[in-house]
Amino acid sequence: MHREIEKYLLDWKNNPRRKPLIIRGARQVGKTYTIDKFAKENYKNYLKINLEQDIKLKTIFENNNPKEILENLSVLFNIPFIANETLLFIDEIQVQPKAIVSLRYFYEQMPEIHIIVAGSLLDFTLNQNQYSMPVGRVEFAYMYPLNFKEFLTSLNENTLVEYINNFDFDKNFSQLIHSRIGDLLRLYFFIGGMPEAVSMYVETRNLIEVEKIHSNIITSIEFDFAKYGTRKQQDFLRDILHYCATNIGRKVKYVNINKNVSSSQLKDALLRLETSRIIHLVRNTQSANVPITQHQDNDVFKPLFMDIGLLNHIAKIKLTDLNDLLTDYEGVLSEQFVGQELIANSDFYDEQKLNYWLREAKNSNAEIDFLFQIGNNIFPIEVKAGKHGTLKSLNVFMSEKNKSKGIRLNMDLPSLAKDLDIKVNLENKNELKYDLYSFPLYFAGFLKNFKIK
């Protein structure tokens, strides 16, 4: 299974100024598999240690002497550490926080040794770590479930990926190809991007087996809650998990989660799930220009789930009855898909945080699903599940913020409406012209490819 991050890892390997690399991502998004594959294809020697499986290895990192650490590992595993030809991969590094601290000394004293680390609860540990982080001596990369491009590639649909990549508004987009991609998009909605689920479908085409994998992953996630705190805190985490899965795209209201629990306790649980990348919070901002966080309200947000396939499993949508599933839930899935794609297709070195815009005013409420930055420009993105739908909220935003370009994602063919005339009922603003870039939903992960100008 090819992952796009592999090229980034190769660039890291070949960079003479590389630092120890910390891979951050939720449980079972493919970190270990991808690093194994990359190592076997690009290194003469490879040593992988798992500090959770072999707990005795923790003692090796009790001191911060990288030469001694490598000598011990070399003897134990009979693997020589040759400069620039050996990769050391430390999995589940969060089990021994001192190993994280040691990365500083590897960078300073033995930069010729290539080191990658990862862990299923690493992000939580990094935020709780009582030891000083090796700031400036490590670099980070972020992994997510397979995006739609990677899903298509796994199905050997590379030509469809290239067709989308090569699109421009001067050419017609084939209706037949659009329908074909739409069918595969619907499939991705329910299989999702968890590597094990995608691999199972590729090998068997059996959706019942995919459901079993989804169930196992959710169970594993809930078992992990025992590592987050007290029994009550674990219960709060489960409440939040199931609430978020059934309230995608809705502003979080703590009273709707559990009216018998204080908002501060529920917020703490919510932020723990965000830290562990099980959910993503899309925060409200009133800014329409960079920096987008300038007018961000950290107390107003709506949730996205880590993976659209897992979301459907928690929502009890059966993959064997997809043909009967229509209308009501597709708007939720469309917003989840777009948000997941915007996150997963960001630069690997940069953690993508999403924002949305909300206007709550008498007789003129409006909401833009996402505000997305391309270069130094902020574009509003309106998401529609079908081919049609009003642009009332987008029109209000464009008028209030005096923007000239907006993006709509729906299930129609791509189109560009130049100088679209709109009328809005806002004080001192009645008419406005703007350009509307309309793309199929499956273009969400390709938006940075197109020059919107």
Q: Looking at the domain assignment, is residue 105 inside a domain?
A: yes
Are the beta carbons of 140 and 31 closer than 8 angstroms?
Answer: no
Same domain, 138 and 156: no
Are the beta carbons of 51 and 58 closer than 8 angstroms?
Answer: yes
Tell the residue number behind the tokens 């409440």, with chain if given: 239
DSSP string for 215-265: HHHHHHHHHHGGGTS-HHHHHHHHHHHHHHHT-TTS---GGGT-TTS-HHH
- Choosing from 92, 120, 142, the residue where a domain stops is 142
Same domain, 262 and 331: yes
User: CA-CA distance, 153 to 151, in Å (whole number)?
Assistant: 5
Give the CA distances from residue 243 to residues 67, 91, 135, 246, in Å, rounded to whole numbers and listed in that order: 49, 31, 36, 5
Are the beta carbons of 92 and 246 closer than 8 angstroms?
Answer: no
Residue 431 has a pLDDT of 79
Q: Is 198 helix (H, G, I), strand (E, B) or coil?
A: helix
What are the structure tokens assigned to 228, written together? Answer: 């987050």
User: CA-CA distance, 91 to 169, in Å (whole number)?
Assistant: 46
pLDDT-derived band at 129, boundaries 50, 70, 90: low
Q: Looking at the domain assignment, is residue 284 inside a domain?
A: no
Element holding 89 (H helix, E strand) = strand 86-91
Farthest-apart Cα atoms in the chain, separation: 77
Are the beta carbons of 124 and 95 closer than 8 angstroms?
Answer: no
Q: Looking at the domain assignment, is residue 313 inside a domain?
A: yes
Q: Looking at the domain assignment, is residue 355 inside a domain?
A: no
- pLDDT digit string (tens) for 98-127? 999 999 999 999 999 999 999 877 877 776
Residue 130 has a pLDDT of 59
Are the beta carbons of 317 and 295 closer than 8 angstroms?
Answer: no
- Least confident range from 117-121, 170-174, 235-239, 440-444: namely 117-121
Residue 360 has a pLDDT of 86
- pLDDT digit string (tens) for 214-259? 999 999 999 988 877 788 889 999 999 999 988 999 999 999 999 9
Same domain, 98 and 9: yes
* CA angle (96 as vertex; 93, 100 as ends), nearest 5: 65
- 86: CATH: 3.40.50.300
Average pLDDT over residues 422-444: 87
* CA angle (203 as vertex; 198, 208 as ends), nearest 5: 70
Same domain, 64 and 97: yes
- pLDDT digit string (tens) for 55-80? 999 999 998 899 999 999 999 999 99
- Choosing from 86, 119, 142, the residue where a domain stops is 142
Give the CA distances from residue 277 to residues 93, 136, 259, 334, in Å, rounded to whole numbers and listed in that order: 17, 23, 25, 20
- Choosing from 80, 113, 142, the residue where a domain stops is 142
129: containing domain: 5-142
User: CA-CA distance, 148 to 345, in Å (whole number)?
Assistant: 10
pTM: 0.94
Sign of CA dihedral 176, 180, 183, 185: negative
Are the beta carbons of 8 and 127 closer than 8 angstroms?
Answer: no
Q: What is the 3-state secondary structure (H, E, C) of 340-355?
A: HHHHHCCCCCCCCCCE
Same domain, 198 and 331: yes
Q: Which amino acid is at 149?
A: K
* Nearest-10 crossing angle of helices 263-275, 231-245: 70
Preceding omega of 291 cis (within 30 degrees of 0): yes
Instruction: Give how many domains the chain has, as a whole number.
Output: 2
- Least confident range from 121-135, 171-185, 357-371, 391-405: namely 121-135
Give the CA distances from residue 23 to residues 58, 66, 117, 352, 354, in Å, rounded to whole numbers and listed in that order: 20, 20, 6, 15, 20
Same domain, 317 and 169: yes
Q: Looking at the domain assignment, is residue 292 inside a domain?
A: no
Same domain, 93 and 68: yes
Same domain, 115 and 152: no
Same domain, 336 and 187: yes
Same domain, 20 and 63: yes
Q: Is 288 helix (H, G, I), strand (E, B) or coil?
A: coil
Over 90: is that where the pLDDT of 263 sits? yes
Over 70: is that where the pLDDT of 327 sits? no
Q: Looking at the domain assignment, is residue 72 inside a domain?
A: yes
User: CA-CA distance, 242 to 369, in Å (whole number)?
Assistant: 22
Are the beta carbons of 435 and 418 closer than 8 angstroms?
Answer: yes
Q: Which amino acid is at 304?
A: L
Same domain, 56 and 193: no
* Residue 29 CB neighbour total at 10 angstroms: 25
Q: Looking at the domain assignment, is residue 41 inside a domain?
A: yes
Residue 158 has a pLDDT of 97
| Nearest residue to 189 (alpha-carbon basis) of 336, 394, 357, 8 | 336
Q: Looking at the domain assignment, is residue 395 inside a domain?
A: no
Q: Say which residues have a Cβ less than 8 Å from residue 31's Cβ, sequence separation at least 6.
A: 23, 25, 118, 143
Same domain, 340 and 255: yes
pLDDT-derived band at 134, boundaries 50, 70, 90: confident
Give the CA distances from residue 439 to residues 36, 169, 185, 213, in Å, rounded to whole numbers and listed in that order: 37, 10, 14, 32
